[in-house]
């Protein structure tokens, strides 16, 4: 059996294909079946007089999403999508499908999410997830190419990684355990062993809001680099994001076209990205009438206003201490703030990265843990990293679904993960 993507190599030859029926139509003498095999789709043509009655009967019994095995000749045909069609000599039904719930018409999003296990087969969903797969591969290629070592971090953890508000807690043989909100504390520990490291895995947050940019389980890439300051960190981020976009443009042309993505908005995504300090950002927001006060984190609406005037991702750097996590390094030039950045994607997508230089001073870090009322004992191992050879280091986390939503131009990040986990959704 061959794959549809290879048809070009078999023009004029007989081949065997297997796949799922997308559509069928016939007019008594001639019939057409569009077959999808996961690598592409192709139209199969049956001429009643030229096929045996069993094949014609099989065609007549076909329902949407039935699985068929087809033998036929590959013909080049400029009018056909993909450039080829199959002149069928035999067709067998391998798995007749019951009436398929997803029809070529508009369905409500709840219905589609309830049928996510089937919705995955639809062309726009396939295209979005193909871009995701390419971006994930590009993540590994980028870091491998730069000599980073991949570190797999635990999902069951004892210490709170980010903040207490969004923890999934579980019983761990009588002890409290949390699903990881981040792998960061562990990649920091791996830095003295390997210098440049990254982790890439699922992370969990009990987000009690239903927004288009929050999942309760999402995938995050987190590099950590020894001897990198906040500035080096932002440079790594702009190189990284530019590379991900470039790879999608290079290898996902068809998918982006199907998704009707205006790729001219992505073509110029190259370093350097513009930067604005948090304090200046607040000034700019107030100037356009926002009621935000210095000290609060930026919301989606603020991010939208700030990014409107740029067509590149925008760095907002050095947020107030109280708006960010305990591990960020105090800014020596303005101790009210920390050395950190958020990278905001344009076109209304907003934050795709959060990064910072880490607090490397033992006493200051311990003080921050106390101020945040975090259980100090759970961090004794983390504080060891400052006791036994502390060093300047920085890192960041990029959310895969938000990044792919921006690259594909999809509004909701739930479409860019195969099986989204949302506040009200644990199935399928
Ligand atoms: O800004 P965050 O919370 O940063 C961290 O977790 C750091 N420990 C990363 C690091 O420095 N190693 O999250 C990083 C990114 C966000 O910018 C966003 O893209 C994504 O993770 N993210 C989410 N994506 C989907 N659903 C959610 N609920 C998300 N929360 C964060
Ligand atoms: Mg953040």
User: What does the pLDDT look like over 97-108, one tens digit per residue?
Assistant: 999 999 988 999
Would you give the distance in Å from CA 280 to the centre of its chain? 30
**Cα torsion through 281, 286, 292, 293, rounded to 10:** 80
Cβ burial, residue 377 (10 Å; 0-12/13-18/19+): exposed
Give dist(CA 168, CA 179) in Å, integer. 6
* 399 CA: nearest ligand 1 atom: 19
- The two tokens of residue 335 are 């101790």
Mean pLDDT to the nearest integer, 15-42: 96
pTM (global) more than 0.85: yes
pLDDT band of 392, cuts 50, 70, 90: very high
Range list for CATH 3.30.930.10 in the chain: 116-416
Class of domain 116-416: alpha beta
Candidate CATH numbers 2.40.50.140, 3.40.430.10, 3.40.50.360, 3.40.50.10800; the one for domain 4-95:
2.40.50.140
- The two tokens of residue 194 are 């390997």
Buried b (16+ CB within 10 A) or exposed e, 136-153: bebbeebbeeeebebbeb
Check residue 210 and give its pLDDT: 85
Q: What are the start-end ranges of the E strands in 227-320?
A: 275-277, 314-317
Long-range contacts of 205-209, Cβ-Cβ distance < 8 Å, separation of 24 or more: 205/162, 205/166, 205/168, 205/181, 206/166, 206/167, 206/168, 207/166, 207/423, 208/166, 208/423, 209/423
Which of 151, 200, 359, 402 gets mutated to test ligand 1 (max ligand atoms within 8 A of its CB)? 402
Give dist(CA 230, CA 137) in Å, integer. 26
Range list for CATH 2.40.50.140 in the chain: 4-95
CB 358 near ligand 1, within 6 Å: no
**Proportion of the chain above pLDDT 70, given as a percent:** 100
User: Ligand 1: which residue has its CA nearest to atom 24?
Assistant: 399
- The two tokens of residue 90 are 């035999």
- The two tokens of residue 420 are 């989204």
The strand pair at 149-150 and 196-204 is best described as: parallel
Check residue 104 and give its pLDDT: 82
């Amino acid at each position: 059996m061959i794959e549809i993507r290879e048809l070009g190599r078999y023009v004029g030859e007989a081949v065997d294909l297997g796949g799922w029926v997308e559509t069928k139509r016939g007019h008594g003498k001639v019939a057409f079946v569009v077959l999808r095999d996961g690598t592409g789709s192709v139209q199969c043509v049956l001429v009643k007089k030229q096929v045996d009655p069993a094949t014609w009967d099989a065609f007549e019994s076909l329902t949407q999403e039935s699985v068929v095995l087809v033998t036929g000749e590959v013909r080049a045909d400029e009018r056909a999508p993909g450039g080829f069609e199959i002149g069928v000599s035999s067709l067998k039904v391998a798995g007749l499908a019951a009436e398929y719930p997803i029809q070529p018409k508009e369905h409500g999003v709840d219905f589609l999410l309830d049928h996510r296990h089937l919705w995955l087969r639809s062309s726009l969903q396939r295209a979005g997830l193909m871009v995701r797969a390419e971006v994930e591969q590009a993540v590994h290629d980028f870091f491998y190419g730069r000599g980073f070592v991949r570190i797999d971090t635990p999902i069951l953890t004892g210490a709170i990684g980010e903040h207490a508000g969004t923890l999934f807690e579980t019983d761990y043989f009588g002890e409290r355990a949390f699903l990881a909100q981040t792998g960061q504390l562990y990649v920091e520990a791996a830095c003295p062993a390997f210098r440049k490291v990254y982790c890439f895995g699922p992370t969990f947050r009990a987000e009690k809001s239903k927004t288009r940019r929050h999942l309760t389980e999402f995938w995050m890439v987190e590099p950590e680099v020894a001897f990198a300051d906040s500035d080096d960190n932002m440079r790594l981020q702009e190189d990284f994001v530019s590379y991900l976009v470039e790879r999608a443009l290079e290898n996902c042309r068809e998918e982006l076209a199907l998704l009707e993505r205006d790729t001219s908005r992505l073509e110029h995504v190259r370093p350097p990205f513009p930067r604005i300090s948090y304090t200046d950002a607040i000034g700019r927001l107030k100037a356009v009438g926002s009621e935000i006060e210095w000290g609060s984190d930026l919301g989606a609406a603020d991010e939208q206003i700030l990014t409107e005037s740029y067509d590149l991702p925008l760095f907002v750097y050095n947020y107030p201490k109280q708006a960010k996590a305990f591990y960020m390094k105090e800014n020596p030039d303005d101790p009210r703030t920390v050395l950190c950045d958020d990278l905001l994607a344009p076109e209304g997508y907003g934050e795709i990265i959060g990064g910072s230089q880490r607090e490397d001073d033992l006493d200051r870090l311990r003080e921050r843990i106390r101020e945040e009322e975090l259980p100090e004992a759970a961090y004794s191992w983390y504080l060891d990293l400052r006791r036994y050879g502390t060093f300047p280091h920085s890192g960041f986390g990029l959310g895969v679904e938000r990044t792919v939503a921006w690259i594909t131009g999809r509004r909701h990040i739930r479409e860019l993960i195969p099986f989204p986990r949302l506040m009200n959704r644990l199935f399928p």
